[in-house]
Structure 1
């Protein structure tokens, strides 16, 4: 049903005067009469009694007036909802995230995101970095929180947070007597790392740093998540690497030490299509950058190398 005809009918039904209704509708009186006539022909019912001196409602017109108002309100709501969806103000945002990014950054981002866009539902799916790249290409997710680098020209990757790694070790380990450690101090130690399949970049980067320091880890234990790394270190089964501050779990017998000189870092980035990204995804990234703008541990201000986990 034509919206313009409904608006003209409602104006005439409320004004009961062709001149006032025409001015309100922004058309001429003949144009208003034509709109009403076409509406009545379409419905095959008389809606108004009109003469040169008087306009009055028929019983059918009185009933239709209430329905016409409802239809116009529904149309206005549909238009507004469509515009808000196009602007990224409502709808569902599908976000992929690695386990580390979920723990490190998601609470800060989502609390602010929901405060700014309360009508957007966020569907969070846990994925590795590689899985997110595939899901972004296929459109299964709108944005991903992952660990760079990624090699895909169709995706943009904005770093949101960067945290230095610390060493977690048992209080019984002789190295615990030192206030800080170097990579060379770790020669001969068993390393407790995330499985390489989960975090190939951080795994390979840490091993490469050890080689640069003149040694290879005596043994590598692969385990996840970070709580398990801390627990294994507390058992004095080796030394582990965890992101500074946020992954410092309070566990008896476990202690943490900074690395001097070369300090690998864990980076969390937001990835999304470089072309035609969903407005909600763009707002998520912008809000995430603002939420994490001050999320920079102050304990390590020295130049550092970057690492990443999937």
Structure 2
């Protein structure tokens, strides 16, 4: 329905005077009369009763005035929402994330984004980096917090942060009493690592650093998620690696130590499709990389 005709009708209905209504609508009186005639013709009903000296609403006009006001308010609201959507202030954002990011980066990032865009619906989908690469191409997620470097070079990916891994070990392990622990001190220990297909960067970094230090892990026990690594370390199965103190799960029989000297690390990045980037995604990526 034509907004101009509705606006003209409401103006006449409220002013009950064609000249004042025309001034209010910033159009000529003849243009106003033409718009009202077109509106009545389109509806097939008479909305106004006109004489040379008087204008009044018909019964149909009284009913239509109420509905016309609702339509105009709805149109105004729709326009505001469209502008907010274009500005990334409403809509939805589906975030893929690795398990470490759930503890390290995501809570503060989502909190900051919700302050900036409180009307955007946010959903979080834990998955590996490889799974996120597939999900982005399928359109299942909008952005992914991944471990870099990623295999899929067709995706846009920006670095967020680099973080060292700490050692988690049983409090009964003699190394738990060593205040200045180095990687070479772990020679002869079993290593508890994320499976390589889940965390290739960590896995390769640990093995490479061990070789540089002149040893190989005695055995490698693969476990996921990080809670499982901590649990196995508590059982004195071996020594594990967890990212930063934000991932230090408090439980008995466990000690955490920061390595001195060469230490494994991992880098988190945020990935998305390079084409068709929405304002919502742009805003989230900007928050994640500043």
1:189 CA drift (Å): 1.1
Separation in structure 1 between the aligned mates of residue 251 and residue 68 of structure 2, nearest angstrom: 67
Q: Which digits, 9 at most, give the CA deviation of each residue in 1:117-148, with x for residues without a partner? A: 22111121111101111221232211111111
SS of 2:125's equivalent?
Answer: strand
Contact 2:193–2:240 (8 Å) recurs in 1: yes
Aligned to 1:199: 199
Unaligned runs of at least 5 residues, structure 1:
291-310
Aligned to 2:145: 145
1:4 CA drift (Å): 1.0
Q: CA RMSD in A?
A: 1.6
Aligned to 2:136: 136
Separation in structure 2 between the aligned mates of residue 211 and residue 30 of structure 1, nearest angstrom: 90
SS of 2:169's equivalent?
Answer: strand
Q: 1:198 to 1:151 in 2, by over 3 A?
A: closer
Separation in structure 2 between the aligned mates of residue 97 and residue 240 of structure 1, nearest angstrom: 22
Aligned to 1:100: 100
Aligned to 1:35: 35
1:94 CA drift (Å): 0.9
SS of 1:163's equivalent?
Answer: strand
Aligned to 1:86: 86
SS of 2:262's equivalent?
Answer: coil
Contact 2:205–2:265 (8 Å) recurs in 1: no
SS of 2:256's equivalent?
Answer: strand
Aligned to 2:256: 256
SS of 1:259's equivalent?
Answer: coil
Q: Which digits, 9 at most, give the CA deviation of each residue in 1:193-229, with x for residues without a partner? A: 1112221221112111111211111100001121221
1:153 CA drift (Å): 4.0
Separation in structure 2 between the aligned mates of residue 275 and residue 65 of structure 1, nearest angstrom: 46
1:165 CA drift (Å): 0.9
Contact 1:154–1:275 (8 Å) recurs in 2: no
Contact 1:189–1:239 (8 Å) recurs in 2: yes
TM-score for both structures, normalised by structure 1: 0.88
Count of residues in Structure 1 that have an aligned counterpart in Structure 2: 290
Q: Which digits, 9 at most, give the CA deviation of each residue in 1:211-252, with x for residues without a partner? A: 121111110000112122122112222111111211112222
Separation in structure 1 between the aligned mates of residue 182 and residue 287 of structure 2, nearest angstrom: 37
Separation in structure 1 between the aligned mates of residue 276 and residue 92 of structure 2, nearest angstrom: 17
Separation in structure 1 between the aligned mates of residue 170 and residue 181 of structure 2, nearest angstrom: 14
Contact 2:191–2:238 (8 Å) recurs in 1: yes
Separation in structure 1 between the aligned mates of residue 188 and residue 80 of structure 2, nearest angstrom: 65
Contact 1:142–1:278 (8 Å) recurs in 2: no
Unaligned runs of at least 5 residues, structure 2:
none
Separation in structure 1 between the aligned mates of residue 155 and residue 87 of structure 2, nearest angstrom: 21
Structure-to-structure mapping, 1:275-290, within 5 angstroms: 275-289=275-289
Contact 2:144–2:270 (8 Å) recurs in 1: yes
Aligned to 1:297: none
1:269 to 2:269 alignment:
yes
TM-score for both structures, normalised by structure 2: 0.94
Aligned to 1:156: 156
Aligned to 1:55: 55
Aligned to 2:72: 72
1:172 CA drift (Å): 2.4
Contact 2:209–2:263 (8 Å) recurs in 1: no
Q: Which digits, 9 at most, give the CA deviation of each residue in 1:239-290, with x for residues without a partner? A: 1111121111222222122212212223222112233312111222223345
Instruction: List 4+ stretches of structure 1 deviating above 6 A.
Output: none
1:88 CA drift (Å): 1.4
Contact 1:93–1:280 (8 Å) recurs in 2: yes
